[in-house]
Structure formats: structure tokens, C-alpha cells
Amino acid sequence: MVVVMKPGASDDDVRQVVEKIQSHGMDAHVSRGKETTIIGVIGDEREIDFDSLGALPHVDRAMPVLKPFKYVSREVCPQDRTVNVEGVEIGKDLVFIAGPCSVEDEDTTLRIAEQVRQAGAAIFRAGAYKPRTSPWSFQGLREKGLQILANVKREIGLPICTEIIDTADIETVGKHTDVYQVGMRNMRNYALLSKLGKTRKPVLLKRGDSATLNEWLAAADYIVRNGNENVILCERGIRTFETYTRNTLDLNAVVGAKIESCLPVLADPSHGTGKANMVPAASKASIAAGADGLMLEVHVEPAEAWSDAAQTITPQELEDIVETCKKLREL
Ligand code: PEP
Ligand code: MN
């Protein structure tokens, strides 16, 4: 951390800051310039709240030099990490996680699962607990939905990825899923992230729609610092001034997450665009940008989907995307 004093700060003002730093077990290196004094904090800056230094009189600002995340950073974890989901090596194999937005009736859900499997998906997705913006929208089939997912796994053989929205459901959902999905609304639910860190099951962490890259990676650190290294990142679009699309799929974040962290990074062009006719191009762009795979909303009859119909593609479209993306990955 670097502390910049206000112009004209006296020796006493500087001493006050140095003493505060030392009281946290760290050393201070004072560099007195003609107009400004700068104090370098030597030691683990995470031991001290930089806001409390910034609030001292005659301190102009206190700036961290370390990143807000550690365990998932390239410094601590230089090698790319892979996450194994029932034999699927996410980060190594190009992976497609596909299925409807919500778990629907058993017959439809099984038909979708069979067709996405044939189209090349390695993991089935569908939400049993739906965190909807309006409390009046369909909230998911909940435990009945989990039961249907268990049947999909048994009948179709695909591993399951489904969303967890409440710490109280970790055990119940964990019995029926192979990957816990943390959605964009819960990326900042640090109690949920910490508890998922105590499990060993893979966690797919979607980026919050207003989260910076650093905030997203710091959220991943909440899971890893509690002991669970099996984290998969998923860029799903952010809010911008653009209204043509539901969200703006941020391909910079795919590239940035690969540069800054060792975790596998997926992209979700379905939520990232909100428009089925944009999903194929956004899928290809994501793989070209270095994504390790895609999460896609797919339905046998997209117009009939119980949620997110406008962004849902057909199994045939999924198959075309899989074929093209495999070639792009090779390139
Ligand atoms: C979803 O995957 O259906 C979902 C709700 O995603 P997000 O959290 O990215 O909005
Ligand atoms: Mn959805």
C-alpha cells in the first residue's frame, strides 16, 4: 500500500501515520519529496484497512498495490487449473453446458437433455430454483425440479449444473447436482460463496452484471480461501447503456480473466445477448477470445420455454455452434 500525504504535512502528521502502520505489525518507508511525502507500507497490506489510513488528517489518499484477490491470481497459481466434473475436464476439454433456463415438466426436460447430449453438450443445465427479478415471475419447480434433474442424470447420463440461491439449500441441491451454479445476482452473496467453499463440489461462478473483473475474481477467492479450488468462471454479460441487447457480453472480461487468474473461464452468450439470433455469432466470438467453453440455453421448442424464451436456441443450432467452436478452438 502507498500512502500519499497532503502537501504541507508536518513531521508529526507523518509520524502519526507511521505509528498506525507499525501498530498493525508492518513497517513504513517514508520518502519526503519537495512537495509531497509518500509512505510505502511494508508487509501484508491486507492486514490493514486502507480506508482507515486514508481517513487520517493530512493523508491525501491510501492506495492498495496488491490485487483484491490472491488464491486465484496468476502470482499464487501460475498454471491453468482444470476442474473435473464427472470426467469432463473443464479448462482442458472444450465444454458445452446446455439446457433450458428452467427445469420444466419431466417429459420435456428429458427430451431436451437427450437432444443436447446428441448435439455435443457434456453437462446439462436447468434451474430448479430461479432467482427472478420479479417475485411474481415463475420461481422454479424447486425440490420437484431437483428430482427431475436426478432422473435426467440417470436416464440420459449427463452430469448436472443447477443454480443455488440460498445457503439453506446447499445440502439438498448438492445431492442432485454435480456443479453448483452461482448466478449473477448472488455473485456478491459472500455468505453463500464462503459456505460453498466448505464443500468440494465444483462451483460455476457467474459474473455480477455490474461487477468489475477484480470484484468477480475476489468473489472467486471467497470460495477458494475456504478450501474449494474447483471454481469455474462464467462471463454472462454486463449492464451498459446499450438497450438493443439484454446485456453486453464482455469479451474483454474473458480475456482478462484468463490473464489474471488460473481458473477455467466460460461464456454465456444466451444471457450475454438475450437474443437467440445473436447467440451463434457471440458463441464463436467467445471461443475465439479464449473461453474454455459455453453455457447455452436450449429448448426443443424455444418459443414454449418457461423462462428466457427469447434467448433460447434449438438443439440443431447448438450442434452447429459446437461444430464451429471445435474448429475455432483448434485454430
Ligand atoms: C440462468 O443461468 O438461467 C441465470 C439466471 O443466469 P444469470 O444469473 O447469469 O442471470
Ligand atoms: Mn436463464
Q: What is the pLDDT of residue 77?
A: 92
* Same fold across 2-63 and 83-330: no
Alpha helices in the chain (DSSP H): 11-23, 50-54, 106-119, 143-156, 170-176, 190-197, 213-224, 251-260, 269-273, 279-288, 315-330
Q: What confidence tier does 14 reach under pLDDT thresholds 50, 70, 90?
A: very high
Region of poorest pLDDT, from 20-34, 91-105, 270-284: 20-34
Cell matching residue 107: 417429459
Mean pLDDT across the stretch 292-300? 99
Which atom of ligand 1 is nearest the CA belonging to 307?
A: 3
Helix axes 106-119, 143-156, angle to 10 degrees: 40
Report the nearest atom of ligand 1 relative to the CA of 182: 8
What integer is the mean pLDDT of 176-199?
98
pLDDT for 47 beyond 90: no
Please provide the average confidence, as pLDDT, over all residues in the chain: 96
Would you say residue 218 has pLDDT above 90? yes
- What is the distance in angstroms between the CA of the first residue and the CA of the last residue of the chain? 42
Protein residue closest via CA to atom 8 of ligand 1: 183
pLDDT(192) > 80: yes
**CB-defined site of ligand 1, < 6 Å:** 101, 127, 183-185, 206, 236, 271
Q: What is the mean pLDDT of residues 271-298?
A: 98
- Residue 35: predicted pLDDT: 83
Mean predicted confidence (pLDDT) in 310-321: 98
Report residue 54's pLDDT band, with 50, 70 and 90 as the boundaries: confident
Given ligand 1 and candidates 236, 250, 312, which is best to mutate, with the most ligand atoms within 8 Å of its CB? Answer: 236
In words, the CATH class of domain 83-330 is alpha beta
Residue nearest to atom 1 of ligand 1 (CA): 101
Residues with C-beta atoms within 5 A of ion ligand 2 = 101, 308
Higher pLDDT, 175 or 44: 175
Structural domain boundaries of the chain? 2-63, 83-330
Locate 281 and state its grid cell: 455469432
Per-residue confidence (pLDDT) for residue 49, from 0 to 100: 82
pLDDT of residue 198: 98
Residue range 168-192: mean pLDDT, rounded: 98
Task: Report pLDDT for 34.
Answer: 82
Residue whose CB lies within 8 A of the most ligand 1 atoms, among 104, 233, 268, for a mutation test: 268
- Helix (H), strand (E) at residue 87: none
66 band by pLDDT with thresholds 50, 70 and 90: confident
What letter would DSSP give residue 246?
A: S
pLDDT of residue 48: 81
pLDDT category, 63, cuts 50, 70, 90? confident
Query: CA 217 to CA 241: how far, in whole Å?
Result: 24
Best mutation site among 137, 149, 163 for ligand 1, i.e. most ligand atoms within 8 A of its Cβ? 163
Q: What is the pLDDT of residue 1?
A: 84
**Ligand positioned closest to the Cα atom of 129:** 1
CATH architecture classification, 2-63: 2-Layer Sandwich (3.30)
Which range has the worst mean pLDDT, 27-36, 88-97, 260-269, 295-304?
27-36
